[in-house]
Amino acid sequence: MRATRLLGPLLLVLALGAPAARAADDRIIPEYVSAGGVDLSLLTVDEATAKLAADPGLHRSLRHDAVLRAGARTWRLTMARAGLRFDPAATARRAALVPTPVPPDGSEENGGSYAGVEVPLAVRHSRAAVRAFVAGVARRSVIAPRNATLRITLRHMRIGKARLGRRLQKSSAAAALNTQLAGIERAAVAGRMLPVRPRTTIRSLRRAYPNVITVDREHFRLRLFHRLRLSRRYGIAVGMAGLTTPAGFYRIQDKQVDPAWHVPRSPWAGSLQGQTIPGGAPDNPLKARWMGIANGVGIHGTAEDWSIGSRASHGCIRMHVPDVIDLFDRVAVGTPVLIG
């Protein structure tokens, strides 16, 4: 006859309780009955209680730590922390209630063995302690997601890729540990790591920046990036010495077709200071389109095509008329503009 052995230990640690005082129990446990791998065949309940309480192998198994794997690390839950209690008397009484097992015909006569009936151990533990343990592991094992990043330069959109994070699924890990603490099997629990998505991805950056304009004053080049990819290049003129086109990060503030020119009160404007020149007028230097940036500076068409590729304006960004019309139709108010 061979009693069933449970699988080998691997996980948690237990504080074992002594059996409570009680009246003698002479009930006989049937043959082929075991608990925790301890054979209880034909013992009285009292004898089985004493045998379970004294079995060193059973107690070593019950004291094994529980192991939870989360990501690349492992954590151990001691049975003392789990508040594990084993009741040998209750286990023996369970064994006495098992109907007499009937082994298969001829199993022993033919040299075979019969595993018999394995009675669950009477153990209890603190589920609150398991939840607290799992919550602590979850905090320490979480991998924060990495957001995608964007750095706008004159020639390139520098994109940092996003990365998924990971977090422990606490409910399934706690359930698996609670199940193990009901017996002596201590196989490591592999915690399920759930993906944590970053708030900012390359896709969301493309939505947030459908178009970006950069103005390279040194090389007289305006670039249009569409969905963070270079889409168009245009030749430009920028501000002359003393009236430099201001560097910085701006956005298009307004758009106008055939804009009027509100002449600034500046010495270079001469007798036109303070006047408003209607759109389309021969003496209006703002040709075809206007995209205002800041402080009276904007992007506009020019009739002085010879000036493209030079420092010739009073601070604005000049473009060939066909180019400014093309750009105007591609961008909206709020489009970022980097001038460098």
Catalytic center residues: 300, 316
Residues 191, 178: Cα–Cα separation, whole Å? 13
Q: Are strands 189-190 and 66-70 parallel, antiparallel or unpaired?
A: parallel
Residues 267, 215: Cα–Cα separation, whole Å? 27
Instruction: Annotate 9-24 with DSSP letters as a single string.
Output: P-S---PPPPPPP---
Do residues 164 and 101 touch, judged by C-beta distance below 8 A? no
Integer angstrom CA distances of residue 257 from 158, 260, 261, 262, 330: 33, 9, 12, 15, 14
Which residues lie closer than 8 Å to 217 by C-beta, 6 or more apart? Answer: 238, 244, 245, 247, 339, 340
Integer angstrom CA distances of residue 141 from 67, 76, 146: 14, 13, 16
